[in-house]
Amino acid sequence: MIQALGLTSNPRKELPPAVDDVSFEAHAGDVTMLLGAPGAGKTTVLRLMLELQPGRGITYFRGRPLRSIGHPSHEVGVLLGDVPGHPARTVRGHVRMLCAAAGVPVRRGDEVLEAVGLVSLREERLGTLSRGMDRRLGLACALLGDPHTLVLDEPVRGLSADESRRLHGMLRAHADRGGTVLSTTADPKEAARAADRVITLDRGRLVADQPAADFSRTRLRPRVAVRTPHAARLSALLAKEARTQRRSVEVAEEGGNRISVYGSTCAEVGETAFRHGIVVHQLADETGDMGPGAGTHRAEGARAPDEGTPSAVQPSTAPSATAQSSAAPSADPQASTVPPVTAAAPDAGRPDGPPDSRPADHPPAGPRTGDEAPDPESGSSAGPPPSLPVRCAPRPLHPLRYEIRRATGVGTGFLVGAVVLVVSALTAVLLARLGHTPQPRLLAAWPRELPLPPAAIGAGLLGALAFGDEFRHPALAADRGGVPRRLGLLTAKLLVASAAALVLAVLTIGCDAELLHLFYGRELIRIPADWLSLSASWLGLVIGCAWAGVLAAGVFRSTAAGLATVVAVPLLVGPLVRKLSEGAPVRAAAGASPRTREAVPLRWPFGGEGHPEGVLRVIAQPIGGAMVLSLAVLLCAYLLTSLRNRTR
């Protein structure tokens, strides 16, 4: 079950809090709905429950607050807003990626897709799904961890009647299996039809907590919508006949030529109009919404007169006309409402009469016997509700598996690799034709006019996509709309980006060498004597660009910013490093070998004492020093932003 105690959002500037001291319970085996007009605070309540925004109060999920649950997705399934995901990713690929994030086997993804009826569409792209399919996929993602509780924000908004019935059937099936379902809606009729309990919010406050049957009886009332040019005359005739026949009929004149008749039928109203020669333009059954406060106060005119006392005409508050007509369009809903005419009778307790005088507001009175009770020191009514910090987003339980599926689930990376190979090959052939290009730069397709070779730029773009694409199309933390900054996830992204950069670097050299051999023969692809240090420099450059793209996109939350940072390393940081160390790198690299041999007491096997010297030479180059400095700064910035997010 869910126990929400004293949920209160932080006050807004010169405005009251969006949610103020909301407490309720949602029991296992029931479908509970939060009902309220747009702006009533429904979504804010859910975000406070899930600790997604700061405030006060506390929420227990089967006796534990969410922050104390090790793997929240295994306890609470969440669907807020649209399903976040890359539009080019397939349904199956998206679910498999989230399986790695939730730590569940891949077969679980196929099971939930079958449960929501999307098995036949598992190869469809997310961008091609209809609104109903998108909602079903969101429910499948929420069910991946086999949670006990489902929390959904207006899951059927914008769906057709058939899709709404299908989705409500899935929620009912989950509740029948013993789960807890909490959903929001702005439609009172939907709440009465699909929920076991309805909790009504109005302007951030709880105004009613009722079983669905009581909610339907006290707030939703059947009525007859009539539109006629003789509305006042027909109202008087219907009231007169009701008094004569001692029937409980309420007539509300809603302005213009429209009236609403409660406690009667279309046949009775039509016969009365026909007998008196009144023209009727509309005659339809509707369900009247009495407003969020209905059931908490007695409506005047609902009392039955004493036996033997003549019935009297009494004024009452006219109910709002928000239901949709089944026959003809209704009058202007903004028209002014005048006091209705009510004819009361002794049988006022019948279902089609006015609501009875018993209040239907049942505020929760604490945990029920047999359920896990919350800690009394955490959220009792004896004092102010505790502060509610923002919960840190969970990291993937299998980050490396998650990142591999994320990177290979869309074709963007493969397209970038193909473009890099084609551009590199054409550039190498063009440089060979022009001449005056050293062989290492020729094989790397790196003209002196460019700050970086195509392979390094492509590796930086692949690295920037690792984080930037997720901030644009979030998938890992669907309830937060962002990506958590965790070292495990960062390490996985760096490893996958390094592997992609390594493959791209090797393929680039191989393709360029093969094409140069094909056009110009073997003289341009001879193996140089210092091939080991050149290879290390080449791989270090490409992998460094990939890492810079990952870190910059993680700091700035943008793919474009990540790629711009990669290009800025040789253009801005390189000249700065060259000026700061004018001539020093060469002298330092020249004297590094004797100092290294003196500092190391043991000899490297197979002449390996030259490897540290080669590494120092690479770092001593302006581009190498600029890359090392940039990576160090970006890593520090990433760690600082991670700590700042955790302290919020």
**φ/ψ of residue 207, rounded to 5:** -110, -15
Counting Cβ atoms within 10 Å, is residue 236 exposed (0-12), middle (13-18) or buried (19+)?
middle
* pLDDT at residue 526, as a whole number: 77
Counting Cβ atoms within 10 Å, is residue 350 exposed (0-12), middle (13-18) or buried (19+)?
exposed
Averaged pLDDT, groups of 10, the chain, 648 residues long = 94 86 95 94 94 91 90 91 88 94 93 92 93 92 94 91 92 95 94 94 92 85 88 91 88 86 89 92 81 50 33 34 34 35 37 36 39 42 68 84 94 95 93 84 87 93 92 76 79 96 94 89 77 86 94 92 91 78 52 46 44 48 78 91 67
* Ramachandran assignment for 521, one of left (phi > 0), alpha (psi -120 to 50 degrees), beta (any other): left
Q: Which residues pair with 55 in a beta bridge?
A: 9, 388
Contact 566, 452 (CB under 8 A): yes
Q: Which residues pair with 225 in a beta bridge?
A: 260, 284
The reported pTM is 0.74
Instruction: Kindly give, in sequence order, each residue whose CB lies less than 8 Å from that of residue 350, ignoring residues fewer than 6 positions away.
Output: 248, 263
Largest CA distance in the chain: 120
Q: Can you tell me the distance from the alpha carbon of 85 to that of 141, in angstroms, rounded to the nearest whole number?
A: 11
* pLDDT at residue 480, as a whole number: 62
Q: Can you tell me the distance from the alpha carbon of 62 to that of 64, in angstroms, rounded to the nearest whole number?
A: 6
Q: Can you tell me the distance from the alpha carbon of 259 to that of 256, in angstroms, rounded to the nearest whole number?
A: 9
Percent helix, percent strand, percent coil in the chain, to nearest 5:
50, 15, 40
Q: Can you tell me the distance from the alpha carbon of 136 to that of 164, in angstroms, rounded to the nearest whole number?
A: 10
Residue 195's nearest CA partner among 42, 50, 27 is 27
Strands (DSSP E) contained in 267-358 are 282-289, 313-314, 341-343
Residue 461's nearest CA partner among 322, 333, 350, 562 is 562
Q: Can you tell me the distance from the alpha carbon of 516 to that of 426, in angstroms, rounded to the nearest whole number?
A: 10
Residue 469, CA distances (Å) to 550, 578, 598 in order = 11, 34, 49
Counting Cβ atoms within 10 Å, is residue 298 exposed (0-12), middle (13-18) or buried (19+)?
middle
* pLDDT at residue 247, as a whole number: 87
Q: Can you tell me the distance from the alpha carbon of 249 to that of 316, in angstroms, rounded to the nearest whole number?
A: 12
Q: Which residues pair with 205 in a beta bridge?
A: 202
Kind and range of the H or E run holding 392: none
The half-sphere exposure of 549 on its side-chain side, counting CA atoms within 13 A, is 31
Q: What DSSP character marks residue 66?
A: G
Kind and range of the H or E run holding 399: helix 399-408
Q: What six digits make up the tokens of 168?
A: 């409500």
**φ/ψ of residue 180, rounded to 5:** -110, 130
Instruction: Kindly give, in sequence order, each residue whose CB lies less than 8 Å from that of residue 293, ignoring residues fewer than 6 positions away.
Output: 202, 207, 208
Q: Can you tell me the distance from the alpha carbon of 446 to that of 437, in angstroms, rounded to the nearest whole number?
A: 9
Q: Can you tell me the distance from the alpha carbon of 461 to that of 560, in angstroms, rounded to the nearest whole number?
A: 9
Residue 201's nearest CA partner among 181, 173, 182, 178 is 182
Q: Which amino acid, one-letter code, is at 468?
A: G
Q: What six digits make up the tokens of 517?
A: 């051999």
